Amino acid sequence: MADIGYLSLILAFAISIYSVVAFIVAAKTDNERLKASAKGGVAAVCLATTVASSILIYLLMTSDFSIEYVYSYTSKNLPVFYKLSAFWAGNAGSLLLWSWVLAIYTAIVTFSKKHEHDEKLPYVSTILTFMNIFFLLLMVFLDANPFEKIPGGVMPAEGAGLNPMLQNPGMVFHPVTLYLGYVGFAVPYAFAMSALLLKKVDDSWIKVTRRWTVVAWMFLTLGNLYGAQWAYVELGWGGFWAWDPVENASFIPWLTGTAFLHSVMIQERKDMLKIWNMTLIIITFLTTIFGTFLVRSGVLQSVHSFATNQAFGAAFLIFMSIAALVSFYLLIDRINLLKQGNQFESYLSKESSFLINNLLLLGAAFATFWGTIFPLVSEAIRGVKVTVSVPFFNQVNGPILLATIFVMGVCPLIAWQRSTLKNLRNNFLWPFSIATVTGIGLYFYLPGKSLYGAVAFGVAAFVILTILQEFYRGTAVRHRMTGEGYITALGKLMIRSRRRYGGYTVHLGIVLIVIAVIGSYGYKTEVTKQVGVGENINVGNYTLTFNGLQEKPEGENTIVFAEMPVTKNGKSIGTIIPEKVFYATWEQPGTEVAIKGSLTEDLYVLLASWEQNGKVATFKVNVNPLMSWMWIGGYIMVLGTIFAVWPGKGSQLGPKYTQ
Amino acid sequence: MKFKTLIILIMLLLAVIGAHPAFADNYVIDEKLFKEIESNLMCTDGCGMYLKTCDNQTAQQMRVEIREKMGEGMNPEQIYGFMMSIYGEEVMAAPPASIPFNIVAWVTPFLAMLGGGLVIYVALDKWVFIKKTEGNELDVDQADMAEYEEIVDEEIKKYF
């Protein structure tokens, strides 16, 4: 079975090469039959990678430990759910997942009725298939074959097992959604490059790829969100984002992708920023590859890294360099074709506010990139290793991101084309006044008297108010003109202008996440305490009682846990059960954090260690304010995105302003 | 008089004993300051984790060292210096700005943004063709309302 899997990869590799050559020749000679054959090649690559992936899943499910990959990442007692997630737990499997997703995306684009008569299509398919050649090459020739057999041909009785930290539902969703996002950005990039190759650089490539871009962005958002959730519930340090190099590598394309999503609106409406939009999609694509490079090259220390060799790093570096060189060469070579259309009517307009938005998003992306690579810069220049971690990113990115959020609130108040200070002042008055009062009130009300926290909450309040004001104004106009009830008017307004109100909904989700970040970073209470049986731990309004440790088997694993009654303000709110899991197939025990969550705060309890046969134990207890809003905000963002891109009437762009 | 002298001597003795590092554990450590120091350091065993978030043995040992040094009366800067003397600059969770080259790490993002801001300013100056917004201006409400009303008008034509 494994041989068929490997053969499928070799076939996919060979057919990909054929497809690329055939597409190029067909485009040059206008040979329709050859073009059809090349398209068939795309379908065959999709089929071959699907076969290879299905076989790997089968081998994982049946615990065929004669295959090194299956042996390394699974064991017989591993639940089916995690056997499936072992598909992408290692380097070889994750490359296969990347290649599979890319092959599926390529087939969808190639066979889409929408693109049937698009002259860019052969070029798009060529670029996407060329990318896949690289990933298939790594698997076939560069020590990343997921079907490699155990040397000696002896099948071990048991597998090494999956790292306990990866045994979390987050492990199933986080990498998949992240990959769907990463690979998704390859599609608009391929269309942009095709437009440059064909010297047809109008905004058609933006229009046809808008949904791809938004959906890729949505998956990247979800991927980061699931990653944060996984870190929060599994890693046991009470946080959700550690500015690890690989986390940064997924945040950078999210930032540049967000800038791109906003910037293309100016090209759609004003026929401007063509060069900038091309640059943004190139950067976004390159940074998605940068993420995979970091995970596999070992150039930077990261908790996410796969155990790989230098050859992988070199291969990714070469691929990235070629992509960068070719992309920027094409851009510079065609720069005369990218002439701007209209001009801006005013300094004070939505267009110019989008430029500020782009500056801030790109500034945050650059700061994140710079902080991530600075250890390499320092080592290369001074020969001294330094670390760039949480304090740097919080201090540098914190103000930039807060300014970005503020601009997010200002944008809806500024009209397209031209606005005036007077009207802007009128629109600002109420949201700004209420937000200022909120900020000042919170400064005095909340513990710690944090100025930064109060300003941040004030900014968040301002953005929420401007968004609500936008919904209200639109609803009021509709109500006045049609006589519909307010709720009906609101519903119809949103449906008839999904792109606009979907966007505002996404903004609302972002603000809720920001509120959770401010609350949990700035107002967290942390206590680490050693207690004996019968003793209490007091944290904030909570009191936890330690009644000793207990032990229970769960499959082949042993679980040590503490069942702790909890009271809040003297009233019982049930029990909380932090655990340590001792795995049969893993040396290090795993930690299961116990969380009692509500809309206002999470009680987060970790069993750190114990002594005297469990009579004395150490617990880490946090009260993390507003954490639930991070997940609620995330899902609101996703819902807003789906609402905005849902096909049909109402999903189109608003009126195009021209001179 | 003798009794007073005895009391003073005992107090002095206690102060000297208390100041000795061996008794440092008996000191009440400023937990807020401890957390602040902890949050500026990395765990040094190669796990790549921020000290505040790491629970392995090396991290625990580092915490003991920090507490000891705090007990000895060291201030945060002295503790960072002590840590760097043992583990190197890498132990700091952010490049210490006391080393001139590291200032590059801190200022470059803001310089880049400043450069970007200047580019936007120059571009806007070139692109904006109505320099004066006063007088011949479009009301923001009118502009936005026009957009809403366009949608509503379209629907009215269709459904009413």
Cβ contact (<8 Å) for B94 and A347?
no
Could you say which of B94, B116, B145 is where a domain stops?
B94
Quick one: pLDDT at residue A329? 94
Quick one: pLDDT at residue A268? 81
Could you say which of B94, B118, B134 is where a domain stops?
B94
Pair A19, A38: CB distance under 8 Å: yes
- Please check the confidence at residue A192 and state whether its pLDDT lies above 60: yes
Confidence of residue A647 (pLDDT cuts 50, 70, 90): confident
Closest residue by Cα to residue A48 from A104, A90, A91: A104
Quick one: pLDDT at residue B136? 46
Q: Chain B: residue nearest A245 by CA?
A: B48
CA distance B97 to A233: 34
Residue B4 included in any domain = no
Q: Chain B: residue nearest A478 by CA?
A: B152
Q: Residue with structure tokens 């049986």?
A: A533
Instruction: List the end-to-end C-alpha distance of chain B, in Å, as a whole number.
Output: 106
Cβ contact (<8 Å) for B127 and A413?
no
Q: Is B155 on the interface with A (CB under 8 A)?
A: yes
Cβ contact (<8 Å) for B90 and A386?
yes
Of the residues B51, B99, B108, B144, the best mutation for testing chain A's interface (the one with the most A CB atoms within 10 Å of its CB) is B144
Query: Exposed, middle or buried by CB within 10 Å (0-12, 13-18, 19+), for A561?
Result: middle
Pair A314, A304: CB distance under 8 Å: no
Quick one: pLDDT at residue A203? 80
CA B159 from chain centre, in angstroms, equals 58
Query: Exposed, middle or buried by CB within 10 Å (0-12, 13-18, 19+), for A33?
Result: exposed
Q: Is B121 on the interface with A (CB under 8 A)?
A: no
Structure tokens at A116: 């049937």
Residue B3 included in any domain = no
Structure tokens at A20: 């690329």
Cβ contact (<8 Å) for A389 and B42?
yes
On whether both B16 and B90 belong to a single domain, the answer is: yes
On whether both B86 and B111 belong to a single domain, the answer is: no
Residues 559-598 of chain A with CB under 8 A from chain B are none
Cβ contact (<8 Å) for B140 and A345?
no
Phi, psi of B92 (to 5 degrees): -75, 135
CA distance A26 to A37: 9
CA distance A94 to A459: 40
Query: Exposed, middle or buried by CB within 10 Å (0-12, 13-18, 19+), for A295?
Result: buried
Query: What are the structural domain ranges in chain A?
Result: 1-162, 525-628
On whether both B85 and B152 belong to a single domain, the answer is: no
On whether both B83 and B143 belong to a single domain, the answer is: no
On whether both B109 and B145 belong to a single domain, the answer is: yes
Least confident of A18-27, A561-570, A599-608, B136-145: B136-145
Average pLDDT over residues A286-313: 73
Q: Is B151 on the interface with A (CB under 8 A)?
A: yes
Residue B42 included in any domain = yes
CA distance A170 to A234: 9
CA distance B28 to B9: 24
CA distance A37 to A125: 12
Residue B5 included in any domain = no
Q: Percentage of residues in chain A with pLDDT exceeding 70? A: 94
Cβ contact (<8 Å) for B112 and A655?
no
On whether both B78 and B111 belong to a single domain, the answer is: no
Could you say which of B42, B65, B94 is where a domain stops?
B94
Q: Is A418 on the interface with B (CB under 8 A)?
A: yes
Query: Exposed, middle or buried by CB within 10 Å (0-12, 13-18, 19+), for A248?
Result: buried
Residue A562 parent element (H or E): strand A557-562
Q: Say which of B40, B105, B124 has its CB closest to residue A388.
A: B105
DSSP state of B41: B
Confidence of residue B133 (pLDDT cuts 50, 70, 90): very low
Residues of chain A contacting residue B132, judged by C-beta atoms under 8 Å apart: none
Cβ contact (<8 Å) for A355 and B49?
no
Q: Say which of B102, B127, B155 has its CB closest to residue A343.
A: B127
Distance from CA of A352 to the nearest CA of B (A): 8
Average pLDDT over residues A62-76: 90
Closest residue by Cα to residue A201 from A301, A121, A283, A277: A277
Residues in chain B: 160
Average of per-residue pLDDT values in chain A: 88
Q: Is A383 on the interface with B (CB under 8 A)?
A: no
What total of structural domains would you count in chain B? 2
The DSSP annotation for A184-214 comes to HTHHHHHHHHHHHHTT--STHHHHHHHHHHH
Average pLDDT over residues A360-381: 94
Query: Exposed, middle or buried by CB within 10 Å (0-12, 13-18, 19+), for B93?
Result: buried
Cβ contact (<8 Å) for B105 and A654?
no
Confidence of residue A659 (pLDDT cuts 50, 70, 90): very low
Alpha-carbon distances of A156 from A76, A122, A151, rounded to whole Å? 11, 48, 11
Residues of chain A contacting residue B48, judged by C-beta atoms under 8 Å apart: 244, 301-303
DSSP state of A612: G
Of the residues B56, B99, B140, the best mutation for testing chain A's interface (the one with the most A CB atoms within 10 Å of its CB) is B140
Widest pairwise Cα distance in chain B: 107
On whether both B122 and B65 belong to a single domain, the answer is: no
Cβ contact (<8 Å) for B129 and A238?
no
Neighbouring C-beta atoms of residue A546, cutoff 10 Å: 24
- Please check the confidence at residue B25 and state whether its pLDDT lies above 80: no
Least confident of A220-234, A403-417, A555-569, A589-603: A403-417
Distance from CA of B72 to the nearest CA of A (A): 23
On whether both B90 and B16 belong to a single domain, the answer is: yes
Confidence of residue A191 (pLDDT cuts 50, 70, 90): very high
On whether both B25 and B85 belong to a single domain, the answer is: yes
On whether both B63 and B110 belong to a single domain, the answer is: no
Domain hosting B153: range is 102-159
Pair A133, A13: CB distance under 8 Å: yes
* CATH, residue B87: 1.10.8.640
Residue B107 included in any domain = yes
On whether both B89 and B116 belong to a single domain, the answer is: no
Pick B32 or A128 by higher pLDDT: A128
Distance from CA of A3 to the nearest CA of B (A): 37
Residue B81 included in any domain = yes
CA A22 from chain centre, in angstroms, equals 35
Quick one: pLDDT at residue A302? 60
Q: Chain B: residue nearest A236 by CA?
A: B53
Least confident of A353-357, A559-563, A655-659: A655-659
Alpha-carbon distances of A501 from A86, A430, A471, A490, rounded to whole Å? 39, 21, 8, 10
Query: Exposed, middle or buried by CB within 10 Å (0-12, 13-18, 19+), for A70?
Result: buried
In this structure, are strands A590-592 and A594-597 parallel, antiparallel, or unpaired? unpaired
On whether both B75 and B57 belong to a single domain, the answer is: yes
Confidence of residue A267 (pLDDT cuts 50, 70, 90): confident
How many C-alpha atoms does A621 have within 13 Å on its Cβ side? 24
Residue B66 included in any domain = yes
